[in-house]
């Protein structure tokens, strides 16, 4: 068996070293193809099948991370290992966040380290492809199942409406039964929608970009304006960071958290506060409410699918909002957990990795109607070092 490796490196001597080191491996054998310019390398990666790409970090006007992003945007999903002449932890983090499977320092290259890195990268990509196939099958099944489950519900709702329209002398008891039928159909529809969203959530996190969470929260609160107004709730947002993530997933995350905070609240004046601070090398984001709270033994249970602590008569919902939130956080290599005392509200904490040089921008306060005070003072961007830090957090 022969493994075909593409080396994209503008230094012929470094490429020759890689070829020589891999030539020492007896099994499997390696065939090295070298391109000095990133454009030719990217074009070749798109046209030919390679088992792995060894990508130099410094390639003229572009760095390896930019080239890697170009490869991913072009649909190249083969294993990529970033290489650089000067080892740097920051460069390694950037390369891995951009989608590289591994990172190697040229100063410490050996036949064994190259072979091991390539083998591991190939295994990671193979496993990821298998996971993606299984997710696609699950999503396809969920879509078909949701369609098949909706069909009888449509008929039930239609026949219930026909009864209401055609039978004029229905008793109050019968009308009450029809209302219960409509409510049950609506709950079942919401449950089907929730399950479909839950299966789709696992596919997110592949389109990574720099996401300003202040913009995300503005959009979320605008979407939830009716819910906030009907509940007489007030939502406020302190300065939030720019994070590396999937914007669609992060928007759903905060929409679920804020909606939950409003929904499970019996206060005369429901309040939701969203804040962010630095916790070591991570952003700690918190959603605080003054709602009913959560009993201690259920603080981890609430993140499991279909786990409801209250009856449908007490609070609406299908038990999938926090489960979807937990999936999104996991997709972003973060953590999520809850702190609460019954009757004293709850706080949902989310940890997300920081970006090098990330900033934290001011967000305006948004009231119960979901309107933003356009005349509010906008503070200048804040850096991570300007924010308060916390030293400990519980593991979820």
Coil vs helix vs strand at 237: strand
**What gap in Å lies between CA 41 and CA 76, rounded to an integer?**
12
Coil vs helix vs strand at 203: coil
Band (7; pLDDT cuts 50, 70, 90): very high
Q: Are residues 222 and 162 in the same domain?
A: no
pLDDT for 395 beyond 50: no
Q: Are residues 226 and 343 in the same domain?
A: yes
User: Does 125 reside within a domain?
Assistant: no
pLDDT at 80: 92
pLDDT at 306: 66
CATH number at residue 224: 3.30.565.10
**Residue 289 is encoded by which pair of tokens?**
């409410």
Could you write out the DSSP letters of every residue in 72-108? HHTT--S-EEEEESS--HHHHHHHHHHT-SEEEEGGG
Q: What integer is the mean pLDDT of 191-202?
A: 69
Q: What integer is the mean pLDDT of 61-73?
A: 78
Q: Are residues 257 and 169 in the same domain?
A: no
Q: What integer is the mean pLDDT of 15-31?
A: 92
CA distances to 41, 53, 56, 122, 188 from 48, rounded to whole Å, are 10, 11, 19, 16, 49
pTM for the whole structure = 0.51
User: Does 29 reside within a domain?
Assistant: yes
CA distances to 154, 155, 169, 183 from 164, rounded to whole Å, are 16, 14, 9, 15
**What gap in Å lies between CA 53 and CA 101, rounded to an integer?**
10
Per-residue pLDDT tens digits for 313-326: 454 555 678 888 89
What are the strands of the beta sheet with 240-245, ordered from one edge? 209-212, 240-245, 359-361, 382-383
Which among 58, 39, 15, 352 is positioned nearest to 213, based on CA atoms? 352
Band (192; pLDDT cuts 50, 70, 90): confident
pLDDT at 23: 92
Q: Are residues 287 and 319 in the same domain?
A: yes
| Chain-centre distance for alpha carbon 180 | 37
**What gap in Å lies between CA 219 and CA 255, rounded to an integer?**
9
User: Does 273 reside within a domain?
Assistant: yes
Q: Are residues 180 and 195 in the same domain?
A: yes
Q: What integer is the mean pLDDT of 149-162?
A: 84
* Percent of the chain whose predicted confidence (pLDDT) is above 70: 82
Which among 106, 25, 6 is positioned nearest to 58, based on CA atoms? 106
- What is the rounded average pLDDT for all residues in the chain? 78
Q: Are residues 198 and 317 in the same domain?
A: no
Buried b (16+ CB within 10 A) or exposed e, 118-128: beebbeebeee
**What gap in Å lies between CA 23 and CA 20, rounded to an integer?**
5
Coil vs helix vs strand at 230: helix
User: Does 156 reside within a domain?
Assistant: yes
User: Does 124 reside within a domain?
Assistant: no
pLDDT for 59 beyond 70: yes
Q: Are residues 250 and 284 in the same domain?
A: yes
Coil vs helix vs strand at 380: coil
Q: What integer is the mean pLDDT of 4-26?
A: 92
pLDDT for 378 beyond 80: no
Q: Of 203, 228, 263, which residue sits at a domain end?
A: 203
**What gap in Å lies between CA 146 and CA 148, rounded to an integer?**
5
Band (308; pLDDT cuts 50, 70, 90): low
pLDDT for 4 beyond 70: yes
Tell me which of 39-48, 302-311, 375-384 is least confident.
375-384
Cβ neighbours of residue 169 under 8 Å, at least 6 residues apart? none
Q: Are residues 154 and 73 in the same domain?
A: no
Backbone phi, psi, residue 388, to 5°: -65, 150
| Chain-centre distance for alpha carbon 311 | 29
pLDDT at 286: 94
Cβ neighbours of residue 203 under 8 Å, at least 6 residues apart? 132, 135, 136, 139
CATH number at residue 30: 3.40.50.2300
Domain of residue 85: give its range. Answer: 2-109
Buried b (16+ CB within 10 A) or exposed e, 45-84: beeeebbbbbbbbebeeebbbebbeebbeeebebbbbbbb
Number of folded domains in the chain?
A: 3
Band (207; pLDDT cuts 50, 70, 90): low
User: Does 127 reside within a domain?
Assistant: no
Q: Are residues 354 and 210 in the same domain?
A: yes
User: Does 12 reside within a domain?
Assistant: yes
Q: Of 155, 173, 203, which residue sits at a domain end?
A: 203
Give the dihedral of Cα atoms 53, 59, 63, 66; nearest 10 deg: -60
Q: Are residues 252 and 287 in the same domain?
A: yes
**What gap in Å lies between CA 66 and CA 61, rounded to an integer?**
10
Q: Are residues 217 and 319 in the same domain?
A: yes
Q: Are residues 80 and 185 in the same domain?
A: no
Q: What integer is the mean pLDDT of 238-244?
A: 89
More reliable by pLDDT, 168 or 39: 39
**Residue 237 is encoded by which pair of tokens?**
């947002």
pLDDT for 356 beyond 60: no
| Chain-centre distance for alpha carbon 372 | 26
pLDDT for 111 beyond 50: yes
More reliable by pLDDT, 159 or 147: 159
Which among 344, 324, 335 is positioned nearest to 395, based on CA atoms? 335
User: Does 123 reside within a domain?
Assistant: no
Q: Of 141, 173, 203, which residue sits at a domain end?
A: 203
pLDDT at 348: 92
């Amino acid at each position: 068996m022969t493994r075909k490796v593409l080396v994209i490196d503008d230094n012929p001597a470094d490429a020759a070293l890689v070829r020589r080191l891999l030539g020492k491996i007896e099994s499997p054998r390696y065939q090295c193809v070298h391109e000095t310019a990133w454009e030719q390398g990217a074009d070749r990666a798109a046209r030919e099948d390679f088992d792995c790409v060894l990508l130099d970090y410094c390639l003229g006007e572009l760095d390896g991370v930019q080239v890697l992003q170009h490869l991913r945007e072009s649909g190249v999903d083969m294993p990529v290992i970033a290489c650089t002449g000067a080892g740097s932890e920051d460069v390694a983090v950037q390369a891995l966040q951009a989608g590289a499977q591994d990172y190697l320092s040229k100063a410490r290259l050996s036949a064994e380290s190259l072979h091991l890195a390539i083998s591991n990268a190939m295994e990671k990509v193979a496993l990821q492809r298998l996971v993606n196939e299984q997710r696609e099958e699950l999503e396809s099944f969920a879509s078909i199942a949701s369609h098949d489950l909706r069909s009888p519900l449509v008929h039930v709702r239609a026949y219930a409406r026909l009864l209401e329209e055609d039978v004029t002398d229905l008793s109050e008891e019968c009308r009450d039964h029809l209302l219960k039928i409509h409510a049950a159909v609506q709950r079942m529809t919401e449950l089907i929608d929730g399950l479909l969203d839950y299966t789709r959530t696992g596919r997110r996190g592949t389109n990574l970009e720099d996401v300003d969470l202040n913009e995300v929260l503005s959009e979320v609160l605008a979407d939830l304006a009716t819910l906030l107004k009907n509940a007489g709730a007030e939502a406020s947002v302190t300065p939030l960071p720019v994070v590396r993530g999937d914007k669609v997933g992060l928007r759903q995350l905060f929409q679920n958290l804020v909606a939950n905070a409003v929904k499970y609240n019996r206060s005369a004046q429901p309040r939701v506060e969203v804040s962010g601070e630095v916790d070591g090398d991570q952003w700690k984001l918190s959603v605080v409410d003054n709602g009913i709270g959560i009993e201690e033994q259920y603080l981890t249970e609430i993140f499991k699918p279909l786990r409801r602590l209250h009856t449908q008569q007490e609070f609406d919902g299908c038990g999938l909002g926090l489960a979807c939130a937990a999936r999104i956080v996991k997709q972003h290599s973060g953590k999520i957990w809850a702190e609460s005392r019954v009757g004293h509200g709850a706080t949902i904490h989310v940890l997300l990795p920081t970006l090098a040089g990330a900033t934290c921008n001011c967000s305006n306060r948004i009231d119960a109607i979901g309107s933003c005070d356009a005349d509010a003072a906008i503070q200048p961007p804040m850096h991570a070092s300007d924010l308060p830090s916390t030293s400990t957090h519980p593991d979820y």
